[in-house]
Amino acid sequence: MSSPPVEARGLVKQYGRITAVDHVDVTVNAGDVYGFLGPNGAGKTTTLRMMLGLIYPTGGSVRVFGRDPITEGAAALEGVAGFVEAPRFYPYLSARKNLEMMASYDGNGARDRVEAVLDTVEMTARADDKVGGYSHGMRQRLGIAGALLRDPKLLILDEPATGLDPGGMRDMRALIRRLADGGMTVLLSSHLLAEVEELCDRVAIVRAGRIVYEGAIADLKATAETAYRVRTNDNTRALEICVAQAGVSAVRADGLEIRMEANEPAMAELSVALVHANLKIHALVPETATLEDLFFHLTEGSTPGEISAPVIDQVAAGGAV
Amino acid sequence: MRPGVGTVYRWELRKLISLKRTYLGLAAAAGVPLSFAITLALKKGQPNDVPFGAYVHQSGLAIPLVLLTFASAFLLPLITALVAGDIVAAEDQNGTLKTILTRSVQRGHVFFGKVLAALTYTIVSMVLLGGVSIVAGSIVSGFNPLRSLSGTTVSATSALWLVLASFAVYLVPLGTICLVGVMYSTVTRNSAAAVVGTLVTVLLIELVGILPGLGFLQPYLLTRQFPAWQGLLRQPIDWSPITHSVWVCALYWVPAMVAGYLVFLRRDVAGG
């Protein structure tokens, strides 16, 4: 069996007394769009740098396609490309020259791909301008172009949409989706929940250098949106309907509301049943954990449901946590 | 072809060509001999206290040799340090080290590609200083025979070869300063600190040479290797200061290179 694109075991990075990465285990399988989710300063970037051989681990091991970037250096990065934090270029060279330089450093026919990758990130028209005059969004796109030059099987992207305007974010996600659909394995670090939810199949959630959840995003969500509360104009009748509804359990009246546990399809059926019974639904609310709540729960230790809406909005919009 | 030292070297040169600071040093390397020659053309005086200073009006070939003595104090170490001190640290400050170290070139190859580029710049600045001073000197004072340090007269053509060889010999300590600069650039990760560090090192070595009681160290000081070229201008040629200079300089550049290489190989690229 071939080695997985990324396999980190017990990865540790200490800076003096500070442990930035604390026994991290991550496995990214071929074809995954893998989200590496956590607040700023959780150790995501440090972990990615170790995967790319930029930082030496204090302990543990990391393999990319079975090879060790620490002992083998650049040779271990065959088939791997990406960037950590903002991609950086030589500001006094044009985008094309920067890409040509990277392609020379790549070998393997990368020089022939320069025009194609410029086209992929829609930068052909500005390719001869010096990078020093580029906007943040253009540099991010150029970073992707630089990564694609290597014709990678694994693309490692660190917060690729950070600092982009909404249109730029949308374009970036569309680009990543397109690349993933083309069969590329993507390891995407982000603190943007919406981004990870939209793009990723599996996630690792990091808190203070440790992995607090690893698995399918669907499994995470399945544990999340199970509790609901409903308020109607006639809760007595509604309670009977809820109890009778297939897939709905733990139904109980609670003051002006009815609380229950159910999955999404069952709740959809329930809402139809309530309407058919001529009941007016005043509220139908997933009671507790959304993905955001779970994220906070896992990364800050707060109880699901305690998070106020404005904070969640701030996180979803890209604010620092 | 797998990318290696040659690939890095070629791109380092292209980057140097695109940088303004490159031309600052080269302009000084060309401008100083030009202004020296112009001054000599306009004034009658001469620098009597340096080797060949007394002959600058008799032979244009004395001018590059006088400049070698003048330039060793500050000008050439500064020009060299400007680029050598920047060549690794600039990548740190730009954050581009991660850009090049996540490609297919080994770290060691990146380091030595940069070392070669810095040395090339040192050589180019020497060629420029030498070329301009020979041409401008010959125009001002004529392409005439030169009186050697032994008092014999050397034909103009022979003197030209000796001047060129003197510049080559001079490159040994200057190249050493270049390599020390690259080491500082790697270790400090800061261009300004590396440039200043290189120059301060040169000044401190010079200082050690004049401290009382430390005279026995003089033959082993880097800055005292600059006049080694004068051995070529004796008849017969005295090779001993030249061979001495070669091994003394190695005492400086070999440890500097080993330190720079190991630091570059083992360091965390956490910035940028």
Whether B96 and chain A come into contact, CB under 8 Å, resolves to yes
C-beta separation of B125 from B76 below 8 A: yes
Asked if A213 is an interface residue toward chain B (Cβ–Cβ < 8 A), one would say no
Residue A294: pLDDT over 80: no
Alpha helices in chain B (DSSP H): 5-18, 20-42, 62-73, 75-84, 89-94, 97-101, 107-141, 156-188, 191-210, 240-266
pLDDT tens-digit readout, A254-267? 888 998 888 888 88
Q: Is B53 strand, coil or helix?
A: helix
Segment-wise mean pLDDT, segments of 10 residues, chain B, 272 residues: 91 94 93 93 86 91 93 88 95 93 95 98 96 95 93 94 96 97 97 96 90 88 94 94 97 97 93 72
Q: What is residue A4's DSSP assignment?
A: P
Q: What is the pLDDT of residue B190?
A: 94
DSSP letters spanning B214-263? -GGGGGG-GGGGGGGGGGGGSSS---HHHHHHHHHHHHHHHHHHHHHHHH
Nearest to A106 among B3, B8, B94 (CB): B3
| Whole-number pLDDT of residue B147 | 93
| CA pair distance A164, A318, nearest whole angstrom | 10
Indicate whether A313 pLDDT > 70.
no
User: Mean pLDDT across chain A, nearest whole number?
Assistant: 86
Taking contacts as CB-CB distances below 8 angstroms, the residues of chain A near B113 are none
- Tell me whether the omega of the peptide bond preceding residue B33 falls within 30 degrees of 0, making it cis: no
pLDDT at A223 (0 to 100): 64
Positive or negative, the CA dihedral B246, B250, B251, B253 is positive
Q: Which residues from A are below 8 Å from B102, CB to CB?
A: 52-54, 74, 77, 81-83
Yes or no, beta carbons of A88 and B101 under 8 Å apart:
no
Question: Measured between alpha carbons, how far is residue A86 from residues A70, A135, B65, B142 in Å?
Answer: 22, 12, 51, 59
Cα–Cα distance for residue pair B245/B217, rounded to 1 Å: 14
Q: Which residue, B107, B72, B38, is CA-closest to B264?
A: B107
- pLDDT given for residue A305 in this prediction: 38
Taking the C-alpha atoms of residue B129 and residue B135, their distance in angstroms, rounded to an integer, is: 10
Query: Which residue has better confidence, B74 or A308?
Result: B74
* pLDDT on residue A233: 92
Which of residues 1 through 30 in chain B touch A, CB cutoff 8 A?
A: 1-3, 7-8, 10-11, 14-15, 18-19
H or E, element range at A282 = strand A281-286
pTM: 0.85
Residues of chain B with C-beta less than 8 angstroms from the C-beta of A46: 270
Q: H or E stretch including A31?
A: none
**Contact of B61 with B138, CB cutoff 8 Å:** yes
Is B244 exposed, middle or buried (CB count within 10 Å of its CB: 0-12, 13-18, 19+)?
A: middle
**In this complex, do A90 and B11 lie within 8 Å of one another by their Cβ atoms?**
no
Residue B13: Cβ-neighbour burial (10 angstroms; 0-12, 13-18, 19+): middle
Query: What ipTM was reported for this prediction?
Result: 0.90
B94 contacts in A (CB within 8 Å)? 88, 90-91
pLDDT given at position B133: 96
Q: A105 CB near a chain B CB, below 8 Å?
A: yes
